[in-house]
Structure 1
């Protein structure tokens, strides 16, 4: 056994003293392990052997007899099962039995690739231990395991968003994160380290959270504050607990929320995602300032989805949902009530279309960059992610943040808008995308925004850590704008006027004549705005900026006010001035360029 070099190897662990080497196979190592004396040594022997010659000679006594056979060398001095835990954000305290999400970055320190699929995928798991070292029975906590988003070769890192289920009994525990090769072995059984953390599980809260300002709940059925499916579980912030009628749905059932004081309300949503069939089969939504006089703000006799109602902002203290439908089998359940002063966005997707659990939809809209929605599947054409604004608004762009998962940007995409989810308008497209989506386009009225995948990635999922919609000011729907010009005043053909408003930086309006004093370009906003600036994009024609200009504003196209002037301009026009009421904006040339036309690829009015 005097090898000059001991590489990482594949070994056979043979605990029988009757072992004999196969014919014609060299037996360089001869160790005897007695399983009756030390089982942990037998379990960890594979890892010990696979490190270095010095480690082997230091930890294993060489004795006569049979036991191990070296059958193949590997060039890398790494174990078969190895992991390094680089970063994590595991909380030191959490509510007993309530799921938490933890973000961990791991490194594969073994010589084997971690496989994400197949019969023996590698996953991240955990176990719980009491202070005395006794393992907590698995029946007392939820066993969530995090899948790998792709195969992880030796030496590479991966970031996982893992669900963590603490024990359902309050107390002090030790959490041990561990990797597992399913149906084969935990990594720790092969000598790999675990990430050990001290965690305190707090008793579950039995009172509504403070933001309710002392408000309360009541119901026609199961009107209890304690016990199974009680009222307070519709307010506890836990999507896995619920209030339930505990009877099949019938007309006349009601659920009432007291906000504690009058507030502005414009949206009410009842979350029943964890009980997907327990939505109200029909409903009326009533508001009241005093619990006596009621106003009906929404009604749906035949309902087939969770209640999510948007209406004009109103002052209300009491909110009552009345059941008008019936179901012979399913109860009425509410896991969480969401009341908003301003309309909140909602989302849906072709893949991983869930509102609770790992990488769920709501995590793309929660304002927390460390959480995310993910497709949980490799990118492929036809995947889509859709945002419902819950009201029609002027939209001018979209950003999909993927900074926390930098490789999970879409490899190609189309962005479409719709007011009714039937007719769609394409506003942006990139079939060869290589970065996070950040697009700006001409403002359009829309309620629905759909991003569809046109690319493919063989290793990466599609993830969105935060979806940010760029809203244009009210009245900024540019489809109603009108343009005119002193030169090339056409709406079709080469470099026509509409191409200065189409949201496509590769198209343009152009004068199609050398720049000269007196040329002008005019924008009719179709209504009066408070205007504070103007940008004329010429990046696609970098020499076609105006050599001099005057910007004038008017409400009636008769009386004009000069807002900005530069007779010796040397760049694209981008100006800001004091807010001024205007419907018409005219940019007049004061300079000259015989060799260059005047071009505008895109207009942006600052209001």
Structure 2
């Protein structure tokens, strides 16, 4: 995986003794079969008491109504996705460790992992095809060749390495659970197939696409012959990452072509193994959609795999709604030392990956390593793996002791009770900070309800099924699984007060019913445009398009500028007619970064199209806003926004006239922004406006719903064999083309229905460029949407946005003075403003002759001298997650007088100290504490009474293992 740096906090694995709790679970499971239909069996995790999935006394359904505002309504007449199961990866390291156990201990462990009745019944197993970062024996593929040599016929192909311990352990898992399915994934093909000629880095040589397809065929046949059938494959693990361990970059277009090759090879060899695209993080939904939108690749692609290291599960629903016929799997998720405690680890595994993952259409959930040792390895000795991840179990190869970790029990809440072939059924949930739930109907007719209290206090909730209900009290951080059998039909419905802001639309298709879900939380991931007195938010699957009247406007008099424009990526490249040249931001984006075109004169237009070209899946335009202006100074409110995507992005607008167009980044991202070509379309008539459809041609299906809050929601599904078009404007001049098998959703909100925003207070009211400030108020909107914060006439970088609070940063490069800070709400209305003073820090001390030392230093040339070199492009980095006691020290060479220190993390947006103490010393031995950092930020100004000293020491006082400590520049002021 490529994103371990998202967390590294200290974790203590669960004590060996808690595994005994599973004995009680098994005992209750036997009792469940003989219980009355009115009885509900209960399995509880009480983290504070170290009780994990422990059977409790039954509770009884009673025929009674419940008005409890926390009522979970269960309805098995509404069925969603079919569940394949839950599991984890059998990496080389995991299999090696398990194989080290005695025959009896290994059999006991495998039973506890995979047996449906005597264990937790894991039914999905991910197995790497060759080396990863978790390998006990170094790098390997199934066809390694000496440097400079190739094997295009794969004559040397062999799975001999896996026959030693991986295949035997997989066979033992299948013996415990014959219904288990295996997903195989390569971290890298053989190095000779790649541009790097190595298993690390590089991309696939196009000449070897068919050879790699044959490599998959040989692997599947070899494993099948060994008694390990492969149910799924993904073409490449994390194709947008190139780590220091085995990995390979593949653009969405490369993977689409590779899937065609693999699909054809599977068909020719009568292989039924399903192909899942992507297999990387949640926040790039356009990657799998690019593959789904290609008919030649889509016919071979069953669905997509997702990792959890950036983004959130809602992206699964984004893609499901666009392509409802495709499957969804969480293929990798791991706990680790960054989580810090059992409560956090349990929250992530059960609350996010299982409950939210399933509610967002996952057919299955797979965690990462099944087993690791006490040192969080073994790691691949040939590469630079990071000892941060936790397995489901910890196996000590020396003592042969096995301990069962929190992730094991989180999976057990689902895998032990939800059987392969089950369906998720209707249940409402209350979201983060309250009772979160998900419900299932097993093939045998039994039902499973999982509830988790992610709040900070105990909560009493009810479960209602038909005319019956029961109550339950659940402490903060705890979870419960309920199982029961029997229908609850007839009589007065028990649930009288059900909260559920979502709504399902079900359509007919040749493949069976297709259900898509409206959820107001989805709106921030869709496209939005102000049109008259309304705000229209709509989805646009990759492959769909909106045609507007008019043609592409001449670019002869255009000029282009940008907030950042490196020499090799000039803004003018985006309007030069050459798709191979491009404007590039030159760095990871921060909100407020922008690209602008001057059309030369006021011009009527209704569409803006910008493309990154097919050569890159990295540097695309992510979440954005569109502004227009007559003078290039007054931009007003945003007129449109969207989440961006790989390839072309088309922004459709009501016809308008303006001279300037500005595309503004609305969220920080590790991706650089690139635009290869930008075009603007329009007509001289300047009429027309996009709107939700009211009718569609024959063959398409349209359904509508009005939410209790007044949103008008329209869903359209194309169940035909080809693309179909329909009007999305009153005069028919705007037409939406929807590909086969996809759906579109339109939500219309009256701008008059948005509450009036109120600017309350600004804190602090003075500071320096790039420092954080917070605006408090009301009715800003739950998400940024079309909202913006301006600092004078500049766009401020947004850190976070909620209905009552916005955090943002003072723009860089501002002169000392007083500026107006203003907010436009998510609905576009003016919320008000306040004044902010940019202050003068006074003279900085010369750093000539200074030296710096640190307790920890990264091995990647990020030494302590970098924070004194005057170059904000270089930095010191700790190379380890922050911990209490991590320190930096500066020797100024002689005694100096000063009263301020500035710690600047440069372009890094996360690796700064959240809390620290500041000390000074005259001799480097006797230290005096002069200040503290309590709520650190990227640019931290530390002020204190004037000191005279030679040495400065800053000591970290917190544990933020998810981030290193980086300082680009340390400056001292007198």
TM-score normalised by length of structure 1? 0.27
Structure with greater helix share of residues: 2
TM-score normalised by length of structure 2? 0.19
* Structure index of larger Rg: 1
Higher normalized contact order (CA 8 Å, seq sep 6+, divided by chain length): 2
